[in-house]
Chains A and B, each alone.
Chain A
Amino acid sequence: MIGVLGELLITAGVVTLLYVGWQLWLGDVIYGAQRNAQGQELSQEWEQQYQAATPSATATPDDTAVPDEEAPVTVEPVILPEPADAETFGVMRIPRFGEGYQVPIAGGVSRPRTLDTIGIGHYPGTNMPGEVGNFALAAHRTTYAAPFNRIADLHVGDAIVIQTADGWYTYRFRTLEYVTPDEVEVLLPVPQVENVPAGERYITLTSCSPMYSMTERIVAYGVFESFTPGAAGPPASLTEGVTA
C-alpha cells in the first residue's frame, strides 16, 4: 500500500516537473511551430488572392522592362477597418527572427482570446497598419509561443513587415524603451507625447520585461517605410536579409 502511494507521489512529481518544462520551454516550441504554420498558411492564401486579382500582370510589355534600381514603392497604403476581437487580420514577419517567423495578428489584447491562442494582439483604438498614428501591438515574451521573445535583439533599421489581405506594410525598427506597466502613453498616436496629432506612421510592439516577469514592459518602436500592394510581389524588406 505504502509502495503504491510512493509511486503515485513520484509520478505526480515527475508530471509536475514535466509541466514546468512544458510551460517554460517545450510548449513554446510546440505552439511556436503551430503559430508559424498558421501564419504561413494565411500568407500563402493571401498571395494566391493577390495573383488571382491581377491575372494580366505579365501581359503588358512595360512590365518586362528592367525595374528601376530598387525604386521604393510609394503607393498609398490600404487602411483596413479595425478588426473585431480575436479576428485575425495580419501576419507579422521579422527577418531578424528567422525565415520561418510568421505570426498571426488579431484584434484585442485579451489573454484567453488573442495572446494565448492566436499570437499577436492589436490594442483596440490604436491605428491600423499604414495609417497615420500608432499601430500598437502586444504579445508574450515568454510562454504561449512567445512571439516577442527576441524583441530585445532587434537592430536599428530591422524590417518589421505586416502582411494583410491587401499587401505588405514595411516598418523599420528604431528604438527600445523600458517602462512600468501603467505607462499607457506608449500607445498614443505619437508615442509618449500627449495631445499632439500624429503626422507620421508608427508601430509599437509591447511585451513583458524582464523575461518571466511582469514588473516592467519592454517597448519597441518603429516607423513606417512603405506599402507594397499584393500584386507587386513580396517587398525587398523581406528578402534583403539582415545585417549581422
Chain B
Amino acid sequence: MYAALWHVLPGPWWVRLLILIVLIAAVLYGLLFYAFPWISQFVNPQDVTVG
C-alpha cells in the first residue's frame, strides 16, 4: 500500500518525500483537531461531574 503510494507520486525522490511529509502533516492535523476530539466523546462514557 505505502510502496504503491510511493510509486504513484511524481518527480524525483526528494519531491516525493516532500509530498509525503505534507500528506502526513495534513493527516496528523486532521486527527488531532477533528478526529480525536470527536472520538473522545465516546471513549469515556461515564457522565460524571469531574474526570
Contact surface of A with B, Cβ cutoff 8 Å = 3-4, 7-8, 15, 18-19, 22-23, 26-27, 30, 109-112, 115-116, 121, 138-144, 181, 206-208, 214, 217
The number of inter-chain residue pairs (CB within 8 angstroms) is 62
| Chain A residues, Cβ within 8 Å of B2 | 7
- Quick one: closest A residue to B46, CB to CB? A214
Given A19-B39, A22-B32 in contact, is the A143-B49 Cβ separation under 8 Å?
A: no
| Chain A residues, Cβ within 8 Å of B28 | 18
A208 in complex: contacting residue of B1, B31, B43, B50, CB < 8 Å: B50
Residues in B9-51 with C-beta less than 8 Å from chain A: 28, 31-33, 36-37, 39-41, 43-44, 46-51
- Interface class of chain B by DSSP: helix
- Quick one: closest B residue to A181, CB to CB? B48
B50 touches A109 (CB 8 A): yes
21 residue pairs of the A-B complex, CB under 8 angstroms, read A3-B1, A4-B1, A7-B2, A8-B1, A18-B36, A19-B39, A23-B40, A30-B33, A110-B49, A115-B49, A116-B40, A138-B49, A140-B50, A141-B50, A142-B51, A143-B40, A143-B51, A207-B50, A214-B46, A214-B48, A217-B50
